[in-house]
Amino acid sequence: MTSDDIISIARETLGTPFRHQGRVVGVGLDCAGVALYVAGRLGLETLDVVGYGTTPANGMLEEVLDQQPCLIEVNDRQPGDILLMRIFHEPQHLAIFTGGTIIHSYANVGICCEHDLDDRWKSLIIKAYRFIGVEL
């Protein structure tokens, strides 16, 4: 699997409506749903958590990422990586990094979208995770 494979699969989610805890492309996804969809299409094992609030708190999202059997935390951000972002002082959001843009399900616009990773979004990144087995 390559970073191009990850990005291509993530782009399959574009236009899907935002839906809290959504897991179905074309019907509804949240930011975790995008990452889980990509992992599933790659045939990777994942842990899915249900019943979380619209704004995960107390490090819950980071803890779940740290426990994912298909991810490793990395210090060097590369295309195809999952970015953990701090919203409202908590790590509460995920996006797929493409190199110059991010792909994510974003409640404020109501859909899965892709847009520039500008300085504002860069300032929100607190960690990056890579799917195990990605060829860079």
- Model pLDDT for residues 53-70, shown as the tens digit of each residue: 777 667 788 999 999 999
Whether residue 135 has pLDDT greater than 90: no
The structural domains of the chain, ordered by start, are 3-131 (3.90.1720.10)
pLDDT of residue 56: 67
DSSP string, 67-115: H-TTEEEESS--TTPEEEEEETTEEEEEEEE-SSEEEEEETTTTEEEEE
User: Structure pTM?
Assistant: 0.94
Residue type, 119: D
- Model pLDDT for residues 107-128, shown as the tens digit of each residue: 999 999 999 999 999 999 999 9
Percent of residues, the chain, with pLDDT higher than 90? 81
Helix (H) or strand (E) holding 9: helix 3-11
